[in-house]
Structure 1
Amino acid sequence: MNWYSLVKKTHSTIEINSATKTIRRLFKKNLIDYKQFSTIINVLESRDLCARDIMLPRVDVIAIDINSHFKALQRLIARTTHSRFPVYNSNIDDIKGILHIKDIFSYFYEKNEKQKQAHIKKHLTQPFFIPESRKIFDILKDFQHKHQQMAVVVDEYGGFSGIVTMEDVLEEIIGDIKDESDNEKETVIKLAANKFSIDARADLETINDITGLTLESDKAETLGGYIIDLLGYVPKLGAIVSSDEVHFKVKHKRGNSLIRIHVKLPEQNQKKNHKSHAPAKSSTKER
């Protein structure tokens, strides 16, 4: 079955829903296996996603100032697992190119600092810019035609919004892709019977499935957004937000972005309806 052709032929929500029902029937009748089923469903459901939905946002992007000292670049490379970095000139909205670390490894032990800086500029590849509204399958075709692995996402004013990689696109379409360098923390880590460490960017549906909670919000889709919606502002590091006997503690944040949250459930957790308009309290007291 050519699932890509199937996607191209579905031009409306009604057609997508119809195609999804057809695929589910085929799976129930054992005419396609689970891998085929999940791949096709992912493709259909990701059809309307755009760069804005899948990009790594500006606040989380690790970028390099072209005027930085070469030693600072070496330290940056040593503490990350990334192979490509956007490079800007003084202002991150002024992206000059993409640097692949394999192109500059041989210059790490060169003594002349000016020559090192020249090597960085020499090995920059032309940045590939896309608008936030670019559809996911159009981005995939762009990557294939331009032989690119990373795109720089810009907003309607030309400002830097984030980056999208080939891996981001493929993960949305066919599912999670892991390699030997993927050593980031899991989205949800169980610390105790009633305590979890959770990525603030995890969606509420996933958290509910794992913890047994029923978190809901009309304004937020992620745990971080849910907490900010409860309070009406961004909490400080160490702040504890309580709602219906569930305690959320901010364990890690970067700027105004919440990164990691510890969630403590009631001793006997019952599935309650935790809505964003429920009363919340915030404290910096350690627990």
Structure 2
Amino acid sequence: MYPLVKLAGGFTSLISRDTNTSGTIGQLVLREELQLLIEESENAGKVNKKEGTAIRKLIDMRDQRVNEAMRPRTEIVGVEVSSSVEEVIDIFIESGFSKIPVYEENLDNIKGFVLAYDLFKQPETISAIVRDILNVPETKRSVEMLNDFLRERISIAVVIDEFGGTAGIVTAEDLIEEVFGEIKDEYDVEENVCRKTTDNEYLIGGNVEIDSINEKFDLGIPEGDYNTVGGFIMSETGRIPAQGEILTAGVFKIHIIRSTSRRIEMIKLSLLDESQING
């Protein structure tokens, strides 16, 4: 993946130039140059077809703003700077995140962020391991933000609204998912997994279709205005459950193995016995 990310860095620089080129004709010419460069790179074997598709998607998203890709304020998992180390460890475990914003009093005053890795240093206080965080306007272009992440080797920023408050946070992972999401789905076969792990337990990717699951295991998952098991869970709960959450839906016990703010990626599903259903 590194060569592709490195190449993407070069393209984000060119695309940033594209957005600053005066005149529609100038933008169209540069866009054609970029498309030609992709084709030449594919023909020369420097990138494969899937990588070329991702870079074309990067070009197509040149007008997207970071507020379209950010995790909104209401979904931010943060910690107060005065929190104990033990409290922060618990939040890392519950959220499954590798980095968490640190604020003072409220989310409009984010002071920085902490990495889960830094907790291995056994700090006495959280403030001892707080790292600086970048503040960016919500109107910043996503391609420019991705270019900043790649160039500065940082991976998280606070998105500021027009009134100076925190609109959300954006991470390198969020933007890379926007660009390479389709390729990740093709490579990451685990997301399409659907297998029985014990007599009464199933590991299922969030994108696996209900029809496929029922046909394979005869589980009787009800049909509705959804196609996938992730859609079934969101229909039952009215939300995207957090990673690590355990819930029930009808006769099923569901453990959310992996999820993001946008989708359910992996679950463990088991059938409840009669006593659990009636109890």
TM-score (norm 1): 0.53
Q: 1:77 aligns with which of 74, 89, 92?
A: 92
Q: 2:78 aligns with which of 63, 67, 73?
A: 63
Match of 2:144 in 1: 138
Answering whether residue 64 of structure 2 is matched by residue 49 of structure 1, we say yes
Distance in structure 2 (CA, Å) of the matches to 1:41 and 1:160: 31
- SS for the counterpart of 1:79 is helix
Match of 2:132 in 1: 126
Deviations 1:141-198 (A, max 9, x none): 32245442111112111221221112222332344686xxxxxxx888989xxxxx99
Instruction: Give, as a single letter, the amino acid of the residue that structure 1 aligns with 2:163.
Output: Y
- SS for the counterpart of 1:75 is helix
Instruction: Give, as a single letter, the amino acid of the residue that structure 1 aligns with 2:76.
Output: V
Distance in structure 1 (CA, Å) of the matches to 2:32 and 2:140: 23
Check 1:76–1:131 CA distance in 2 against 1; reply closer, same or farther (3 A cut): same
State the shift of 1:128 in Å. 0.7
Distance in structure 2 (CA, Å) of the matches to 1:167 and 1:258: 14
Task: State how many pairs are aligned.
Answer: 225
Deviations 1:64-94 (A, max 9, x none): 1112233221212233432211001121221
Q: 2:111 aligns with which of 93, 96, 102?
A: 96
8 Å CA contact 1:86, 1:97 repeated in 2 = yes
Answering whether residue 28 of structure 2 is matched by residue 15 of structure 1, we say yes
- Which protein is richer in helix relative to its size? 2
Answering whether residue 178 of structure 2 is matched by residue 165 of structure 1, we say no
Check 1:188–1:125 CA distance in 2 against 1; reply closer, same or farther (3 A cut): same
- SS for the counterpart of 1:87 is strand
8 Å CA contact 1:20, 1:41 repeated in 2 = no
Distance in structure 2 (CA, Å) of the matches to 1:5 and 1:77: 34
State the shift of 1:102 in Å. 2.2
Check 1:4–1:146 CA distance in 2 against 1; reply closer, same or farther (3 A cut): closer
Check 1:135–1:88 CA distance in 2 against 1; reply closer, same or farther (3 A cut): same
Distance in structure 1 (CA, Å) of the matches to 2:106 and 2:71: 18
TM-score (norm 2): 0.54
Distance in structure 1 (CA, Å) of the matches to 2:91 and 2:140: 30
8 Å CA contact 1:65, 1:87 repeated in 2 = yes
Q: What is the RMSD of the two structures over their aligned residues, measured on CA atoms?
A: 5.5
Determine what percentage of the aligned residue pairs are the same residue: 27
Distance in structure 2 (CA, Å) of the matches to 1:176 and 1:121: 38
Distance in structure 2 (CA, Å) of the matches to 1:148 and 1:73: 21
Check 1:177–1:62 CA distance in 2 against 1; reply closer, same or farther (3 A cut): farther
Match of 1:155 in 2: 161
Distance in structure 2 (CA, Å) of the matches to 1:163 and 1:128: 10
